């Protein structure tokens, strides 16, 4: 009886210890947060990592890290397995977990890569806007001067058509860069934990909810299996494929223009 009580307390305790370590790491380093987005204006300050939004990809990686590390610690300390042999004794389950961690890690890495590419486009668009605005203003001034000269001339004239065409082209280019900034600019402002995971620059996102629900479902099954069978849970090919597809859909919707 006492062994049952011990195991009922020990497993949650192992998971809690790893969770506390991850939370501490997030307080000290930005392990669960998005990389800082370019400021809306070049002079705006970049917030500290504590104020930045949570990253769904990084939180998913941390979730599986907590479950797997906590479960391995529990099985080694309170189970019948030695640490050196636990991954060998449960080869199929260990291989499944390696694939699962690979999917989770790839999701976080690809999501960070997409954000990095968006940020580069935003910075380039901001630089273009900063260069175009004074140039357009100079053209407008020159065009206004040409109109005034044409109106006061003895014979009615026309402003320089080349200048007007160039002004129109530069104005269109400016608007295109402004649209790019509005569409790809990430927010540095943190909301609640859940809102950060379920929303992006386009608002509420079903693909994020799908990934979160599958992660929680598989995680709950993993914990229940470890607690009941005192062994690692294996994930069959269909389960891994489902998790991989859900992660791929999440990364796909992060691509520029996918969910605009």
Q: Which of 63-67, 71-75, 112-116 has the highest mean pLDDT?
A: 63-67
Query: What Rg do the C-alpha atoms of the chain give, in angstroms?
Result: 28
Q: How confident is the model at residue 145 (pLDDT cuts 50, 70, 90)?
A: low
pLDDT score recorded for residue 217: 92
pLDDT digits (tens, 9 = 90+) for 185-240: 877 777 788 988 888 776 668 889 999 999 999 999 999 988 888 777 778 888 88
Q: Own/partner pairs for 97-106, CB < 8 Å, 24+ apart? A: 97/68, 97/232, 97/235, 99/235, 99/240, 100/64, 100/218, 100/235, 100/240, 100/243, 101/64, 101/65, 101/68, 103/240, 103/243, 103/244, 103/247, 104/60, 104/61, 104/64, 104/247, 105/61, 106/247
Number of CB atoms found within 10 A of residue 173's CB: 14
CA distance 67 to 65: 6
| Average pLDDT, integer, range 235-251 | 88
Q: How far is CA 96 from the centre of its chain?
A: 25
Residue 4 burial (10 A CB sphere; 0-12, 13-18, 19+): exposed
8-33, pLDDT tens digit by residue?
788 999 999 999 999 999 888 888 88
**Mean pLDDT over all residues of the chain?**
80
What pLDDT does 204 receive? 67
Its pTM stands at 0.78
Q: For residue 136, what pLDDT band results from cuts at 50, 70 and 90?
A: confident
Q: pLDDT at residue 144 above 90?
A: no
């Amino acid at each position: 009886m006492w062994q049952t009580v011990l195991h009922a307390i020990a497993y949650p305790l192992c998971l809690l210890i790893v969770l506390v370590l991850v939370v501490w790491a997030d307080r000290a380093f930005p392990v669960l947060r998005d990389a800082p987005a370019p400021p809306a204006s070049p002079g705006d300050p970049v917030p500290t990592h504590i104020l930045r939004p949570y990253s769904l990809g990084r939180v998913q990686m941390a979730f599986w890290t907590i479950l797997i590390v906590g479960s391995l610690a529990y099985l080694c300390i309170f189970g019948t397995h030695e640490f050196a042999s636990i991954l060998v004794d449960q080869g199929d389950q260990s291989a499944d977990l390696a694939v699962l961690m690979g999917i989770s890690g790839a999701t976080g890495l690809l999501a960070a890569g997409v954000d990095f590419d968006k940020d580069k486009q935003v910075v380039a668009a901001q630089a273009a806007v900063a260069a175009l605005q004074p140039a357009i203003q100079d053209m407008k001034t020159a065009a206004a001067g040409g109109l005034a000269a044409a109106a006061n001339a003895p014979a009615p004239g026309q402003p320089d058509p080349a200048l007007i065409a160039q002004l129109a082209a530069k104005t269109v280019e400016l608007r295109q860069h402004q649209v790019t900034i509005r569409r790809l600019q990430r927010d540095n402002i943190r909301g609640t934990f859940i809102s950060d995971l379920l929303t992006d620059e386009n608002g509420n996102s079903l693909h994020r909810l799908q990934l979160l629900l599958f992660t929680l479902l598989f995680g709950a099954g993993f914990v229940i299996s470890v607690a009941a069978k005192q062994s690692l849970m294996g994930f069959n090919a269909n389960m891994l494929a489902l998790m991989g597809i859900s992660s791929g859909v999440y990364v796909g919707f992060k691509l520029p223009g996918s969910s605009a």
